[in-house]
Amino acid sequence: MKRAFSLFALTLLTCFCLAPGEAKDLKAGLIGEYFDIGDAVEDFPEIPKDKKPTIKLIDKQLNYESSSEELGNSKLADHFFARWTGVLRVPKDGKYKFYLESDDGSRLYIDNKQIIDNNGLHAMEEKDGEAELKAGDHPIKVELFENEGEVGIKLSWEGAGGAKELVPATALFHAKDKDVDKD
């Protein structure tokens, strides 16, 4: 009976903890999909599932100061929507406070739950939210829309007893993507 339980536990571990992308298959950074909307954007746009992004990049961190220039290497400065997806690696169990600062609107999801809603047309503005997280990997998604003027986004966190800091590049990963990972 003990052996049967061990095999069952190992099977569950393999199916649920390692799939869909085993830890060894993760690469540094979040996948950033940037969509040129081409017209005024005053709220999060509905992006059809089959719409291809204008550009797809790997962003090691979300640390973009507010600027009238293009956001990072996206070649987009106005009228766009960006979505970053991947894995957040949490170092230890505990309550984490997240901060999302953006110009214009942004949202943060961890484990498919919305943690922060920083919606609206505004200059750099920070909102925060908390999540109780276990050590290990958690799906993360960050969204941003930009109408006109300046654009920027920063993602920070603080753990139990820790100081507020940008979420480090060492905590952000993605499953290999043939469109952006050329190796």
pLDDT by residue for the chain (183 residues), tens only, comes to 443 333 333 333 333 333 444 456 899 999 999 999 999 999 999 999 999 999 999 999 999 999 999 999 999 999 999 999 999 999 999 999 999 999 999 999 999 999 999 999 999 999 999 999 999 999 999 999 999 999 999 999 998 778 999 999 999 999 988 777 765
Answer yes or no: are the C-beta atoms of 107 and 45 closer than 8 Å.
Answer: no
Is 42 part of any domain?
A: yes
What's the rounded Cα separation, in Å, for the pair 41 and 152?
A: 15
What's the rounded Cα separation, in Å, for the pair 99 and 155?
A: 6
Answer yes or no: are the C-beta atoms of 72 and 64 closer than 8 Å.
Answer: yes
CATH at residue 53: 2.60.120.1560
8 membership: H or E segment, kind and range = helix 2-12
Is 180 part of any domain?
A: no
Q: What is the pTM of this model?
A: 0.85
- Domain total of the chain: 1
Q: What is the pLDDT of residue 5?
A: 34
- For tokens 């960006």, the residue is 82
- For tokens 């942004």, the residue is 106
What's the rounded Cα separation, in Å, for the pair 150 and 179?
A: 28
What's the rounded Cα separation, in Å, for the pair 152 and 75?
A: 14
Is 59 part of any domain?
A: yes
- The CA angle 146-119-96, to the nearest 5 degrees, is 110
Is 76 part of any domain?
A: yes
Is 48 part of any domain?
A: yes
The domain of 129 spans 26-175
117 membership: H or E segment, kind and range = strand 113-118
Answer yes or no: are the C-beta atoms of 117 and 145 closer than 8 Å.
Answer: no
Q: What is the pLDDT of residue 57?
A: 96
Is 14 part of any domain?
A: no
What's the rounded Cα separation, in Å, for the pair 130 and 157?
A: 9
